[in-house]
Structure 1
Amino acid sequence: MGQASAMRLPALLPALAALFFSQAAAQPTIFPAPRGDGRELVIYSSLDDHLAQPLIAAFQASHPDVRVAYENLLTGELHDRIVAETAAGTGTADFAFSSAMDLQVKLANDGYARPVVTPDTPGWPDWANWRDTAYALTFEPAVFAYHKPSFAGQTPPATRADLIRWMAEHPDQARGRIGTYDVARSGVGYLFLARDQELYPGIWSVAAAMGRADVQQFSTTSDLLARIADGRLALGYNLLGSYVAEWARRDPDVGMILPQDFTVVVSRVAVVPTAARDAQLGGAFLAFLMSPPGQELLSRTLRLSAVSLEVAGQDTPAGGMQDLAGLRLKPVPVSPGLLAYLDQATRSRLLARWNAALSGR
């Protein structure tokens, strides 16, 4: 390759990446406009299609001429698509909604998200809004899940100290029957561990105790909950509360405890990309999700607790998170501080310490 060609190659990479993503991506799910076929709203999201459908239907009820193209992507793919399409100048999604808080904040911090002020922005919690460019829309605690029959006649652990005590006093019941996320493979599991370390110096005693009890690690919440439901696991540590609440609603053998010492809270974060093809429409969808009707729909239909204090303060048993009052809630702030979790050296150190604690080193 000649020198001139080699110099031109970096400039071509964004366009090539955008072309790759556009060809490799699955076709979006189309929600036709209820009446007419005016504007198109393009959404990239990590939320499954069937969970997004009621949100889209409610939005289209007040915007009947809007056609929605919905793409369900892995969180890393969502981030990379927006970056590549922005660099290529082809335009990108009008709205992006992801459970990867760190990657969403990175988009905003790196200039890939635009400021949007909605009618509910003035009352939004400070921790859930970074410079009007990245908004937390859900409120999802890390909880303990447990197999109710395994704790018949006992009170399940409600704090991390209780958990250590239970493992020490019931070694036969605990051995091989404690589960948590594989923090090397689960993004939310890693985020929970990083937050635990920041808030609780004793977390390494918890990890060491779980290691002695032969803790089992899994990549997904569903893998953990399936084993808790049938009794292969007695207890799951730091599971995503929205999934546990839904599973517990359907399965009487699954219980949920919001830790009494402190409860880490994570969120799904929304941005309107700078290179959105229709930023006004993306902003309208964000405004809907931040409104009381949108927050109530997230809470009731999707069983994800609302950030909106007005909605979160209501009695919403269908959301499964109605018992937050009086807890020491520790939300992960939507801020550039999340970018530290993406630093590879920091990640390597935390994973090494976790593995050392589990192995008793």
Structure 2
Amino acid sequence: MTPSVRTGRAVRKGRGRHPICWLSVIALLIISWITPIHAASVNGTLFPALDPANETGTVTIYSSLDTNLSMPLLEAFRAANPDIAISYVEMLTQDVYERVTTESDRSGATADLTISSAMDLQIKLANDGYAQPVVVPQKDLWPNWASWRNTAFALTFEPAVIVYHKPTFANTEPPHSRVELTKLLREQGDIYFGRVATYDIERAGLGYMFLAMDEKHDRNLWDLVSAMGSAGVKLYSNSSAILQRVAQGQFALGYNILGSYANHWVESHPELGIILPTDYTLVMSRIALVPRAAREPELGKRFLTFLMSEHGQEIMSRQVRLPALHPMVSGKNTFTQMSKTHGSRLRPIAVRPSLMVYLDQVKRARIVEKWNKALKSQ
């Protein structure tokens, strides 16, 4: 039950002039000031300014990142900017794209900042003129591949990994590369039949992008897909379903799983293991941009600057548990540490218009056809 709903009920009861009801109203008004106000899903969650007497505006954010996961970032920004309220609208990646384009085309105002894991859709917004250039102090510290024309900026460094059930591999090494995974499934397919999982590329945008990138980097990709098909691979539209089943031992392996989600699961499921493939490891990033039609573009720029700051990236890594990209932020969950440990095998997906090729329906249909054919080839 939200504070606004509770307040409404207290007012109705207050018609009897009971003093306790008025005290309840006052108490709930105080609560609504210090806690988020959950509105309808289309409007997201409003986080009031911590200093309402001097409030200067509200920054509106459309984001595919779960509101609860974002809380450490939102709280830190509010603490540093007590005069600013935040409207955080959590939505699916496709909805972020469609809402920005629709609102912008109608000559109306849209969000002040968008954050999305759909790299292709974010870069399409920037390429098609829906984003405005932003001068961010930290931009010069970013790797060359991690931004495009000062309009689209990578915020995270999230590898695609192999997850495995440790007890299953107690007496043998799990596969550390795609070649080893293919060999395992070819030679011991009966042992692992029905116990391997990956994304369903027809339902999971991230899974499709990872597979399309695999095709670019691995000439033997379709041998692996064929081997997975012969091993009765299970397909899912999200990471959680796969991670849960690997943790339980129902599955032995999960391929191309987003490492940031896997790291969350490992904290409470020690039976889960994570491998960054030794042949190459794809790395995706969540991308942020300030829309051209932003209602409060300066506030959007301020929030983006915070997200890219060393402090914001520390919070991203330590509390939100998404790998930070800032080169001055070190530790296990960072671009800096992964680069030292894994070096040139890391293949970050560049923030470039070339990503839009994966939105092409003809190319998509071709890859999906090859995928289905390879899965059924055995």
2:162 to 141, 144, 155: 144
Check whether the contact 2:43–2:89 (CA below 8 A) recurs between aligned residues.
yes
Runs of 4+, deviation exceeding 4 Å: 319-324
Equivalent-residue separation in structure 2 for 1:264 and 1:192 (angstroms): 7
**Where do 1:129-208 residues align within 5 Å?**
129-208=147-226
How far 1:347 moved relative to its partner? Answer: 0.1
| Residue-by-residue CA offset, 1:305-339 (whole Å, 9 max, x unaligned) | 1111221xx1236x799555234000111010000
Check whether the contact 1:245–1:321 (CA below 8 A) recurs between aligned residues.
no
| Residue-by-residue CA offset, 1:9-61 (whole Å, 9 max, x unaligned) | xxxxxxxxxxxxxxx95232011111123211000000111111111111111
Equivalent-residue separation in structure 1 for 2:41 and 2:67 (angstroms): 15
1:211 aligns with 2:229: yes
Partner of 1:356: 373
**Where do 1:269-308 residues align within 5 Å?**
269-308=287-326
CA RMSD of aligned residues (A): 1.5
1:315–1:196 distance in 2 versus 1, CA, 3 Å? same
Equivalent-residue separation in structure 1 for 2:331 and 2:128 (angstroms): 39
2:278 to 260, 275, 278: 260
Check whether the contact 2:44–2:89 (CA below 8 A) recurs between aligned residues.
yes
Equivalent-residue separation in structure 2 for 1:72 and 1:113 (angstroms): 19
1:31 to 41, 44, 47: 47
1:103 aligns with 2:121: yes
Check whether the contact 1:42–1:68 (CA below 8 A) recurs between aligned residues.
yes
The amino acid that maps onto 1:233 is F
Equivalent-residue separation in structure 2 for 1:215 and 1:55 (angstroms): 38
Check whether the contact 2:123–2:356 (CA below 8 A) recurs between aligned residues.
yes
Partner of 1:17: none
1:27–1:250 distance in 2 versus 1, CA, 3 Å? same
Equivalent-residue separation in structure 1 for 2:45 and 2:59 (angstroms): 12
Check whether the contact 2:112–2:296 (CA below 8 A) recurs between aligned residues.
yes
Corresponding residue SS for 1:237? strand
Equivalent-residue separation in structure 1 for 2:67 and 2:331 (angstroms): 27
TM-score of the aligned structures, taking structure 1 as reference length? 0.90
| Residue-by-residue CA offset, 1:189-215 (whole Å, 9 max, x unaligned) | 000000000011110111111111111
Partner of 1:238: 256
Partner of 2:13: none
Percent identical pairs in the alignment equals: 47
Corresponding residue SS for 1:326? helix
Equivalent-residue separation in structure 2 for 1:32 and 1:148 (angstroms): 46
Corresponding residue SS for 2:260? helix
Equivalent-residue separation in structure 2 for 1:77 and 1:145 (angstroms): 30
Check whether the contact 2:156–2:322 (CA below 8 A) recurs between aligned residues.
yes
Equivalent-residue separation in structure 2 for 1:322 and 1:302 (angstroms): 17
Deviates more, 1:24-33 or 1:332-341: 24-33
Equivalent-residue separation in structure 2 for 1:115 and 1:320 (angstroms): 25
The count of aligned residue pairs is 335
Consecutive unaligned residues in structure 2, runs of 5 or more: 1-39
Corresponding residue SS for 2:115? strand
1:158–1:321 distance in 2 versus 1, CA, 3 Å? farther
Partner of 1:14: none
Consecutive unaligned residues in structure 1, runs of 5 or more: 1-23
Equivalent-residue separation in structure 2 for 1:321 and 1:236 (angstroms): 26
Check whether the contact 1:305–1:321 (CA below 8 A) recurs between aligned residues.
no
Equivalent-residue separation in structure 2 for 1:140 and 1:326 (angstroms): 13
